[in-house]
Structure 1
Amino acid sequence: MTDTNNSQINDTQDGDLLDITAAVTPKEGADFELQSLKIRQPQGDEVLVKIVATGMCHTDLIVRDQLYPVPLPLVLGHEGAGIVQAIGDNVKTLEVGDHVVLSYGHCGHCKQCYSGQPAYCAEFFERNFGGSDTHGNNAICTSDDQSIHDHFFAQSSFATLALSQENNAIKVTKDAPIELLGPLGCGVQTGAGAVINALKVTPASTFVTWGAGAVGLSGVMAAKICGAATIIAVDIVDSRLQLAKELGATHTINSKEQDVVEAVKEITGGGADFALESTGVPDILTQGVEALGILGKIAVVGAPALETPANFDVNDLLISGKSIVGVVEGNSRPKIFIPELVDLYLKGQFPFDKLVKYYKFDDINQAVKDSENGTTLKPIIKISD
């Protein structure tokens, strides 16, 4: 839905506003529009980050298409990576010049945050999909002071500068290429974390990913790290299946060419121990549950429109002791998990750079087209040098 933005820019002097270029989503389903806007300085526990590059994620596009009802016009982008330019007075763990990956917003003080599960923060939807800060204010405005919806995933990083909270700006080593790291903030973290943190895939086990996009292939790499003996990738695009083999899959299945449930059961000797569903297609989730073995477990990370139902045989679930678990952001604690993924990448054990293709900021709409038609797994938009 399109919303006339009645929120306000936080109290600030005009001289405190900084010029930025941002990709704005003006209305449902529209192309991104690069606009000259302004952003305020950080306050309190906020961090102002010069965005070097931002990954493009499926969630950006489902919000553009209003499958999630975030108010428009809006600056999207939630896989930002860059360099800290300024910090608020209450920031204690970051300094100007630090390299950071921006991840999801969370309050830090609810039951879930305190217990080490910030992805299930009581304020998750508000902080990531509200279109403003928790007080209804925006940090971005036009030259004539009309506010633009922002704070998407506590960052709105399709912009040359972005504001985040200290707790979702993750300091990373300067030894890693900062332009590559943005997707660790969401998509790559989601796939790898679902395998490592949620499913807890075990050595010598069987694992299948339903969907071999960036999230699914991150799961393949993670399953290999966990020591799974049989790793199956299911997709309809042969080039993705070939890449899955390069990243650690022992078997691939093109679901257009064979009965995929029977194929999984044959390969695994009765059904998979673990599975990852990243497509967001209900019928594929149904197949994923059917293809589980006894005591098998499937993690659901694909996001369809809100209130989308899926079907499964209750007695199959009951008698076989199968589990279906929803997973947000890979059940990760980004301050810990993202640096661990960076370390694995630098050691050559997590080559997620094979998933990406870079685009200039001016070519952001081409990146959308290439992502939607499947020719690019993970677009990264280079925002600035």
Structure 2
Amino acid sequence: MLTAAGGPSTPRKTYVQIQAALVESPGGPFTLRTLDLDLPRSDEILVRVTAAGICHTDLGMRQAWPRERLPMVFGHEGAGVVEAVGDAVTTVAPGDTVCLTYQSCGVCQPCAAGTPSYCEHAGALNMGGSRRDGSTSHSGPDGTPVYGNFFGQSAFATHCLTTASNTIRVPADLSPAIIAPLGCSVQTGVGTVRTVLRPRPDTTLAVFGAGSVGLSAIMAAVADGHAVIAVEPLAARRTLARKLGAAAVIDPTTEDDVAAAVRDASHGGPHFAIDTTGRPAVVPQALHALRKQSTLALVGIGTAQFDTMPVITKGITIRGVTEGETNPAEAIPQLINLYRQGKLPLETLITEFPFTDIEAAADATLAGHVIKPVLTFA
């Protein structure tokens, strides 16, 4: 509902009243609150959220977010319907079904070169907790500022504000629960394989970590005819990796030498590897598993210490990857086509939760009970 606030002697502020999952203390729970959200500025889009995926980035940032930028609304895998647009927006219109992704400026050198995931202003646009000019779009009922703009959306809410760079029109017949993960985890996994590594058909890929990013990478590699080795400690995820076409699965908790097990399963070592975990032990395992003149893509955020000897003597390339190095305006329609062709059976990854159960969904994610929790809105 649209509401006008302010009296005759004060500036009028027009806003929409929303329900949002608020984090009010470092590492604190998601708490549902009623907030006011600004109506869109000239370059902004008001989206009614229909689904939002929970990503480990949301949960990690909940722990690490600075106290001075709380309370905060997270969420960066939104799907929804456009309700209003600013007068400068031409890419979408009210009533359009959209997938939300990361925000980029569109004019810096990486953006102009077609790699917006490396936008020079990505930090301010996606991780600042406010608009680029420092203003906040959310406020409490008493007018207290509330931080948001997470990945240019803050989708853990019934409504959010976005911009043209991170709002991609999609077909209306797709389930919102399928659309939501396309904007981050799915495009990251698929893009790392298809955009960055681009393996030849006769090569082998090892994927460390069979979460939503890793399994998306496995789907893409299998669809393109590559042999895939999945390294994953959780039995249910290893089983799913097999069902999705992995040639072999390895439980790293039962192997004395994970690298040797990967080499054995890939007949001398994979040509490519992806670390989706960010865990300290994984990069050394991958480096020792890989064959000569191979490539390791680092997708998971974390820390690692490793011996440079295998990197040098094998001529290994280590490659960091953000958001699959994709241009969402091109990548998301391609992902939808792959889904429609049956090559990305995303429903095998998704567990739906009502938005009101967001804390239970977060707990299930951290416990490893679900792969990709998606919040749905009535």
Task: Give the TM bin, normalised by the shorter chain.
Answer: over 0.9
Matches within 5 A, 1:317-332: 317-332=311-326
Distance 2:192 2:71 in 1: 32
Among candidates 196, 205, 208, match of residue 207 of structure 1: 205
- 3-state DSSP of counterpart to 1:159: coil
List 4+ stretches of structure 1 deviating above 3 A: 67-70
Amino acid at match of 2:308: V
One-letter amino acid of the structure 1 residue matched with residue 235 of structure 2? D
- Residue 129 of structure 2 contacts residue 150 of structure 2 at CA under 8 Å; is this kept in 1? yes
Within 5 Å, give how 1:207-356 maps onto structure 2.
207-228=205-226, 230-258=227-255, 259-304=257-302, 308=303, 310-356=304-350
Conservation of the 8 A alpha-carbon contact between 2:23 and 2:73 = yes
Letter in 2 for 1:184: L
1:167: how far off?
1.2
| 8 A contact 1:25–1:73 mirrored in 2 | yes
Gaps of 5+ in 1: 1-10
Amino acid aligned to 1:234? V
Q: Which residue of 2 aligns with 1:163?
A: 161
Q: Please give the alpha-carbon distance, in whole angstroms, between the structure 2 residues aligned to 1:207 and 1:280.
A: 18
CA distance in 1, matches of 2:368, 2:66: 22
Give a deviation string over 1:128-186, Cα, whole Å, max 9, x none. 11000000001111111111001000000000000001111011112321232111111
Distance 1:70 1:352, change over 3 A: farther
Task: Give 1:70 shift.
Answer: 8.5
User: What is the CA-CA distance between 1:254 and the residue it aligns to?
Assistant: 0.5
Per-residue CA deviation, residues 30-88 of structure 1 (Å, 9 max, x unaligned), is: 11000001111111221110000100000001110007888221000000000000001
Preserved contact between residue 26 and residue 66 of structure 2 (Cα < 8 Å): no
Q: Deviations over 1:239-259 (max 9, x none)?
A: 100000111111000111122
Q: Could you tell me the TM-score, scaled by structure 2's length?
A: 0.95
1:336 positional shift: 0.4
Q: C-alpha deviations, 1:303-325, integer Å up to 9, x for none? A: 12xxx3x2222231122111111
| CA 113–41 in structure 1, closer or farther in 2 if over 3 Å, else same | same
Match of 1:282, SS state, is coil
1:33 aligns with 2:31: yes
- Post-superposition Cα deviations, 1:180-199, rounded to whole Å, max 9, x if no partner, equal 21111111111111111111
Partner in structure 2 of residue 13 of structure 1: 12
Is the 1:159–1:383 contact (alpha carbons within 8 Å) kept by the matching residues of 2?
Answer: no
| Contact 1:176–1:346 (Cα < 8 Å) also in 2 | no
Which stretch of structure 1 is more off in the superposition, 85-94 or 61-70?
61-70
CA distance in 2 between partners of 1:147 and 1:67 (Å): 16
Q: Structure 1 pair 262/193, CA: closer, same or farther in 2 (3 Å)? A: same
Q: Aligned residue for 1:194?
A: 192
Amino acid at match of 2:19: T
* TM-score normalized by the length of structure 1: 0.93
Which deviates the most, 34-43 or 66-75? 66-75
Number of aligned residue pairs: give it: 368
Q: 8 Å contact 1:270–1:293 — kept in the other structure? A: yes
Match of 1:120 among 113, 118, 126: 118
SS where residue 335 of structure 2 aligns? Answer: helix
AA in 1 matched with 2:252: S
Q: Report the Cα distance in structure 2 between the residues aligned to 1:353 and 1:70, rounded to whole angstroms.
A: 39
Q: CA deviation at 1:12?
A: 7.2
The one-letter amino acid paired with 2:241 is A
Q: Find 1:145's aligned residue among 130, 143, 146.
A: 143
Q: 3-state DSSP class of the match of 2:281?
A: helix
Instruction: Say which SS state the counterpart of residue 109 (structure 1) adopts.
Output: coil
Local SS of the residue matching 2:88: coil
Q: Which residue of 2 aligns with 1:361?
A: 355
CA RMSD in angstroms comes to: 1.5
Q: 1:251 to 1:182 in 2, by over 3 A?
A: same
Corresponding position of 1:3: none
d(CA) in 1 for partners of 2:283 and 2:25?
A: 31
User: Retained in 2: the 8 A contact 1:20–1:38?
Assistant: yes
Letter in 1 for 2:60: I
| Identity score, percent | 39
Task: Name whichever of 371-380 and 342-351 sits farther off.
Answer: 342-351
Alpha-carbon distance in structure 2 between the residues aligned to 1:33 and 1:76: 12
Asked if the contact 1:73/1:148 (under 8 Å) is kept, the reply is yes
Q: Which ranges of structure 2 fall in alignment gaps of 5 or more residues?
A: 1-9
* Separation (CA, whole Å) in 2 of partners of 1:322 and 1:313: 12
Kept after mapping to 2: 8 A contact 1:63/1:70:
no
Q: Say which SS state the counterpart of residue 182 (structure 1) adopts.
A: helix
Q: 1:82–1:179: 8 Å Cα contact kept in structure 2?
A: no
Residue type at the aligned position of 1:13: R
Local SS of the residue matching 1:319: helix
Tell me, in whole angstroms, the C-alpha distance in 2 between the residues paired with 1:372 and 1:313. 31
Contact kept, 8 Å, 2:197 with 2:272, in 1: the verdict is yes
> SS at the partner of 1:17?
strand
Indicate how the Cα distance of structure 1 residues 217 and 106 shifts in structure 2: closer, same or farther if over 3 A, else same.
same
